[in-house]
A = this chain, B = another copy of it.
Amino acid sequence: MSESIDFLYPTKWLSKASTGERVACELRMRIISGIVESGAILSENKLAADFSVSRSPVREALKTLASENLIRLERMGAVVIGLTEKEIKEIYDVRLLIETFVFERLVKMDVQELVKELSKILEMMKVAIKYKDADEFSYQDIMFHETIIRSIHHSYILMIWDNLKPVMESLILLSMRARIKEKYDDFTRIINNHELYIEAIRTKDRALMIESLHKNFDDVQEKVEDLWMSQQMLTKGVEQQDD
């Protein structure tokens, strides 16, 4: 009956992951990509059957996804919330909030090591573009921001990031995959923005940092559009599922 859907999450990122994490990552991708639609009701038994695992890792995954605000655990079944434009805007509200906070801490710190680290990541991003590796690019993009956030050693800001990260990761993955084939110069612009960000950190230039953040977020709207595009693509390529 239901077609076997290809795995969306990069399997090589899951080498050390438990079954529960695998289910969470894959299910997250399916929700964010729109394969699993908002409002759908997920049953533990059904998911366990779909992924050919027991209910234990499925339960674990559902709890994770609930804490990421992607589903809502109810009496009977988990209701998919998914990401509408509203949610994506909200995510970027929070990113703006925490990255601004982080920057305020950074201006009081020695950022030499951080700048070096970020430059390394940036070069890796360039290599990823050169070889049109969207997944690797996404990984480094996430890593870039995580490195900045980690550098201030603030466990509760990091906690927020830890909750946001998986969703961001999926979002960026899907967006980059949709863009890497054609919109080549999008990536050079992203690189430029990140270079600006590094420069802002190095010179501790608040205004520049805000500017680069906003440029970064101006991309968001496009990212979102790309996401809807990729949702269209994906859902068109999949047969209507019977239940």
Contact = CB atoms under 8 A, between A and B. Distances in A.
B101 A156 contact: no
Contacts of A68: 159
Contacts of A156: 69, 87, 90-91, 93-94, 164
Count of this chain's copies in the oligomeric assembly: 2
A155 interface: yes
Contact of A94 (B67, B87, B157): B157
A178 B90 CA distance: 38
A154 interface: yes
A160 interface: yes
A155 B93 contact: no
A54 interface: no
Contact of A154 (B90, B98, B101): B90
A94 B156 CA distance: 7
Contact of A155 (B60, B87, B159): B87
A221 interface: no
Interface residues of A, number: 23
A94 B154 CA distance: 10
Given A60-B63, A63-B60, A97-B97, A90 B163 contact: no
Nearest to A69: B159
Interface string A63-74: 100011100000
A162 B60 CA distance: 18
Interface string A148-170: 00000011110110111000000
A155 B90 contact: yes
Contacts of A101: 93, 97
Nearest to A86: B155
Contacts of A155: 69, 81, 87, 90
A97 to B, nearest CB: 6
Nearest to A162: B67
A73 to B, nearest CB: 11
Given A67-B162, A94-B160, A160-B160, 7 more contacts: A87-B155, A90-B155, A93-B156, A94-B156, A94-B157, A97-B98, A163-B163
Interface of A: 60, 63, 67-69, 81, 87, 90-91, 93-94, 97-98, 101, 154-157, 159-160, 162-164
11 contacts: A60-B63, A67-B67, A67-B162, A68-B159, A69-B155, A90-B154, A90-B156, A91-B156, A93-B157, A97-B98, A160-B160
